[in-house]
């Protein structure tokens, strides 16, 4: 019956959308992301007001990058916005007069895919989001599992290489340094620098220098068979698949859903991930294998998931 609003706080814009019980977005509104922490709160409230005027809204779900506490009320730490122990739920509720649920953005996206996307029909599903970094969410027994303190599913920061690459989190060797959009670009630039003769097409798509290579160039060049671009996707897939094999050892879900910008390339990236997953899956001869599925909701998963989580309270 009821409608809820989902809010997605992105690096450049904040989107609010009215979502019905089938996960359909009825109306959306976007504002640029303000630089200040208070400004972000203002913008959230404005965007919610803008879309709520024509509908009867029951609740609001807000997806935020960072640690959200066990009560889904306080942002403990947001890496990009200056929120530290920010009581976001209280602040927004006071201003908009609607019940608010705050949730980690990757959790929202996972929930969106589970409810209305590639995860439908699975009781136990693990989502990973290969965006700039690597995030994810855990559904077990048809419930989103957020951990005792709210900060579970930080997949991007499990250590896959001891003494490995420095990570923005302060640690080293984190999975997202090896399997993410940023990693893909690094792979391509390093290879193009060492062997430019194998990256002619890739370099031509950018400004001719290794540093000018961006993600979109790698996708385009890979589709046309550029050796360095293909090899860069293969390297990404090597790490992504090996990590999924670890997650299978831990969670044993019936499906993995791979989302985020990198997954937009579809089977170009998913097939090598599946191959690597199978290569590294432990005991593969004696167990059913989880499916590795492409996300279906694209960039809307987070907004839709946030709205649905708000509906569920």
The site for a second copy (CB under 8 A) is made up of 67, 76-77, 84, 122-124, 138, 140-141, 143, 145-155, 157-166, 169-172, 174, 178, 190-191, 193-195, 242, 245-247, 249-254, 275, 278-288, 290
Q: Which is nearer to a second copy, 49 or 172 (CB)?
A: 172
Measured from the CB atom, the residue of 242 and 307 that comes closer to a second copy is: 242
**Residue 293: CB minimum distance to a second copy, A:** 14
CA 301 – CA 108 distance, rounded (Å): 7
Judged by beta carbon, residue 202 or residue 247, the one nearer a second copy is: 247
If the CB atoms of residues 128 and 269 are measured against a second copy, the closer one turns out to be 128
Q: Which is nearer to a second copy, 43 or 108 (CB)?
A: 108
Asked whether the beta carbons of 129 and 259 are under 8 A apart, the reply is yes
Q: Cα(281)–Cα(291) distance, rounded to whole angstroms?
A: 12
Q: Minimum Å distance from CB 99 to a second copy?
A: 23
Nearer to a second copy, 243 or 302 (CB): 243
Dihedral angle sign, alpha carbons of residues 153, 71, 14, 38: negative
* Least CB distance to a second copy at residue 192 (A): 11
Q: For the CB of residue 138, give the shortest distance to a second copy in the complex, in Å.
A: 8
Instruction: Compute the distance between CA of residue 246 and CA of residue 313 in angstroms, rounded to an integer.
Output: 32
Residue with tokens 């290579």: 213
- 305 token code pair: 């998931």
Smallest distance, a second copy to C-beta of residue 199, A: 12
Give dist(CA 186, CA 179) in Å, integer. Answer: 11
Helical (H) or strand (E) element with 242:
helix 227-251
Q: Under a CB-based contact definition with an 8 Å cutoff, are residues 261 and 131 in contact?
A: yes
**Which element (helix H / strand E) includes 76?**
strand 75-77
Q: Least CB distance from residue 182 to a second copy, whole Å?
A: 12
Between CA 312 and CA 301 the distance in angstroms is 16
């Amino acid at each position: 019956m009821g409608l809820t609003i989902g809010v997605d706080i992105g690096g450049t814009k904040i989107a609010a959308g009215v979502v019905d019980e089938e996960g359909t977005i009825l109306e959306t509104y976007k504002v640029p992301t303000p630089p200040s922490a208070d400004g972000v709160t203002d913008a959230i409230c404005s965007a919610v007001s803008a879309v709520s005027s024509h509908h009867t809204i029951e609740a609001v779900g807000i997806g935020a990058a960072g640690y959200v506490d066990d009560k889904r009320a306080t942002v403990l730490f947001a890496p990009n916005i200056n929120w530290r122990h920010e009581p976001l739920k209280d602040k927004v509720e006071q201003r908009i007069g609607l019940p608010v649920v705050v949730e980690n953005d990757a959790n929202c996206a996972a929930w969106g895919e589970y409810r209305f996307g590639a995860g439908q029909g699975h009781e136990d599903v693990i989502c990973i989001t290969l965006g700039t970094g690597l995030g994810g969410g855990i559904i077990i027994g048809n419930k989103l599992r957020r951990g005792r303190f709210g900060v579970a599913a930080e997949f991007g920061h499990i250590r896959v290489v001891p003494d490995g690459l420095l990570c923005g989190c302060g640690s080293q060797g984190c999975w997202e340094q090896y399997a993410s959009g940023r990693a893909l670009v690094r792979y391509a630039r390093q290879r193009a620098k060492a062997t430019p003769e194998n990256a002619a097409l890739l370099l031509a798509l950018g400004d001719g220098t290794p540093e000018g290579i961006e993600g979109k160039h790698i996708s385009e060049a890979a589709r046309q068979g550029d050796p360095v671009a293909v090899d860069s996707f293969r390297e990404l897939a090597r790490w992504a698949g090996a990590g999924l094999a670890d997650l299978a050892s831990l969670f044993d879900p019936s499906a993995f859903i791979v989302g985020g910008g990198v997954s937009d390339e579809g089977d170009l990236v998913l097939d090598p991930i599946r191959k690597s997953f199978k290569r590294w899956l432990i005991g593969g001869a004696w167990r059913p294998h989880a499916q590795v599925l492409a996300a279906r909701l694209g960039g809307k998963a987070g907004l839709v998931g946030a709205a649905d989580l708000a509906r569920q309270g």
